[in-house]
Structure 1
Amino acid sequence: MKHLRYRQMALAMMAFAVLAPVTAPIARADTTQPAQQIPVAIAVIDIQQILRDSSAAKSVRAQVDKQKDTYQAQIAQQENALRDVDKKLAEQRATLSADDFAKKQDQLRQQMDQLRQNSEKLKQQLEDAFNAGMGQVSQALAGVLTDIAKQRSLTLILDKRAVPLSANGFDITADALKGLNAKLPSVTIPKPTQ
């Protein structure tokens, strides 16, 4: 109930913002004159669609997925090797002294911890690479939107998710996607270091 009231207030404020004339004061010696009217030209854009469908964003996801698959295979191979060592160590338990067994078990635990740390490090590096790549996409998109705004004399571009209703003529998603694909067809992300 409370959320509905806030949503209604937000919609009313958005409607007021769209319908109210925009005025910007102009520096003048005489402040009794009215402010200059600025025409409002609005467009909406589906940013999620662009970040999903642009060729650059797709290239970022494909590179991250490929690197992830490669490193997961390597880590799985290392885990299997450590399991084999653990199994052999269990078989040798009866023939080793308690100290030797404890030392080997400690070495195995250290190797497992090291593998876990390497895995976490690679995961973080992949996440950082993804964020860096998508940052390049977002930066290029901002340039494309600036160009579209200048060409069409737009004063405001809103994310489609923030607009409950708009006419199709306000939607510039297709033009922005086309412009982004032309400006940035792909992105090369850094490879994680091991």
Structure 2
Amino acid sequence: MVKMLRLIILSFLVCFFNTGKALSQGKNGSKLERFAVINVQKVLRVSAATRAVKPQIKKIRAKIKKQIQDRERALRIENEKLQEERSILSAEAYKQRRRIFQSKVSTLRADVQGLRKRLDAAGRAAMFQVQRQFRIVAAEIAKERNLQIIIPRATALFVLPSFDITDEVLKRLNTRLPNVKVELPTAKGIPATNQKAR
């Protein structure tokens, strides 16, 4: 989750600083007159939608863990039974049964890796929704207040509280997106995470 927040913050920085040339100076080189700051990390950490994501991820992870443990238990029982029957099986029969068992073990390992990727994708997709709405809210406030630029609070050494719009952004974001549903994608349906917010 921490790495995810860092990536989102970096994306936010790129988005706003890429527009800096158009906003920072006019033809006569006039300086910035209207700007604001946002505590990006705080908004993305404590928003209602973000808080809704964590318990859903935890629940899905617990369900996956139980499924894996059940399959591991079944494989242990199968292996024990195979060892018990080894003395009464022909060499060829035992070898064939062993190959089948090893194939099941390999399948389980692959499934575990796949489930982890799907869970990560589900978390990223959910946070992408939060990020998208966050940027929309910030842009709306910038338009309403005729702001020339919005910068992350962490990049400013000092700023007066009157320039900080974090609370307003957080309030609107919570109203606009109070919850996000986390959905585990199918193995072939992992959503792209590098889409740009529209």
State if a TM-score over 0.5 links the two structures: yes
- The range that moved more, 101-110 or 150-159, is 150-159
Partners of 1:122 and 1:192 within 8 A in 2: no
Instruction: Please give the secondary structure, in 2, of the residue aligned with 1:187.
Output: coil
TM-score, normalization: structure 1?
0.77
Alignment partner, residue 43 of structure 1? 36
Partner AA of 1:138 in structure 2: Q
2:55 alignment partner, one of 49, 62, 71 = 62
2:113 alignment partner, one of 117, 120, 128 = 120
Alignment partner, residue 89 of structure 2? 96
Partners of 2:40 and 2:152 within 8 A in 1: yes
Instruction: Please give the secondary structure, in 1, of the residue aligned with 2:182.
Output: coil
Alignment partner, residue 163 of structure 2? 170
Structural RMSD (CA): 1.8
Aligned residues: 164
Partners of 1:44 and 1:159 within 8 A in 2: yes
Matches within 5 A, 1:1-194: 22-25=24-27, 35=28, 37=30, 39-193=32-186
Q: Deviations over 1:66-122 (max 9, x none)?
A: 111111111111111101111221222222222111111111111111111111111
CA separation of 1:143 and 1:103: change in aligned 2, threshold 3 A: same
Instruction: Please give the secondary structure, in 2, of the residue aligned with 1:157.
Output: strand
Instruction: Please give the secondary structure, in 1, of the residue aligned with 2:25.
Output: strand
TM-score, normalization: structure 2?
0.76
Instruction: Please give the secondary structure, in 2, of the residue aligned with 1:111.
Output: helix
Identity %: 32
5+ long unaligned stretches in structure 2: 1-23, 188-198
5+ long unaligned stretches in structure 1: 1-21, 26-34
Alignment partner, residue 16 of structure 1? none
Partner AA of 1:152 in structure 2: R
Q: Deviations over 1:39-80 (max 9, x none)?
A: 422222121111111111122222222111111111111111
